[in-house]
Amino acid sequence: MPNSLVAIYPGSFDPPTNGHLDLIARAANLVNHLIVAVLQNTQKNALFTTAERAEMLKEITAHLPNVEIDSFDGLLVDYAARRNANAILRGIRNVSDYEIETQMAILNRRMRAQTETLFLPASAEHSFLSSRMVKEIITLGGDASGFVPEPVMRRLQAKFTTVKR
C-alpha cells in the first residue's frame, strides 16, 4: 500500500451499539488509522451529549490502537480535509441504507474528489440494530444489554433509572 489509508467513520452514535463496535473493529483491521467522528448534530434531540458519546466510544475502543475518537460539526468533507483523511467509512445494514449512503457518497466525492467512501456491510447478527431501536427498547423498560457494550448499558441504565416497568 503506497499511501497510508486514513478513514473517518462518522455518526451520531447515540448510543454506540454492538453493531458500531463490530464495524469499528473490522475497519481497524483494514486501515492504517480510523477516526471515529461523533457528529455534533444540533438538529437531533440527542440522549447523550457529544462529550458523553465520545467518552463511551473511547472506553469501548481502548483495545484498538489505531482508532481515534473525535467529534466534528459542519460538512464531513471539510472535516476530512482538515484531518487529511482519504476515506469515509459507512456501514450498510440493508438496501435503504445503501441507497441513502450512495447518494451521500456521490455528493461527498463531488465536493472533495480526494475522499472515497468505503461501504462495509453489517455483520449478520447486527444487521437489524440501530441506536434508535436501542433507545426505544430502553425507554419502554426493556433489556437492551444484548445490543450495546456493557459500559454503554451502564450509562443507559443511569439515564433511565426512573423508567417505569
The one catalytic residue among 26, 58, 83, 93: 93
| 44 in catalytic set | yes
Q: How confident is the model at residue 155 (pLDDT cuts 50, 70, 90)?
A: very high
Q: 42: exposed, middle or buried (C-beta count within 10 Å: 0-12, 13-18, 19+)?
A: exposed
pLDDT at 20 over 70: yes
- Whether 163 maps to a domain, the answer reads no
The one catalytic residue among 12, 53, 112, 131: 131
| 93 in catalytic set | yes
| 110 in catalytic set | no
How many distinct structural domains can be found in the chain? 1
pLDDT at 156 over 70: yes
pLDDT tens figures, 69-110: 999 999 999 999 999 999 999 999 989 889 999 999 999 999
Query: Under a CB-based contact definition with an 8 Å cutoff, are residues 16 and 46 in contact?
Result: no
Q: What is the CATH number of the domain that holds 43?
A: 3.40.50.620
Could you give the CA distance from residue 21 to residue 14 in angstroms, rounded to a whole number?
Answer: 13
The predicted structure's pLDDT at residue 42: 64
Dihedral angle sign, alpha carbons of residues 25, 31, 35, 38: negative
Host domain of residue 113: 6-127
pTM equals 0.92
| 126 in catalytic set | no
The predicted structure's pLDDT at residue 45: 82
- Whether 157 maps to a domain, the answer reads no
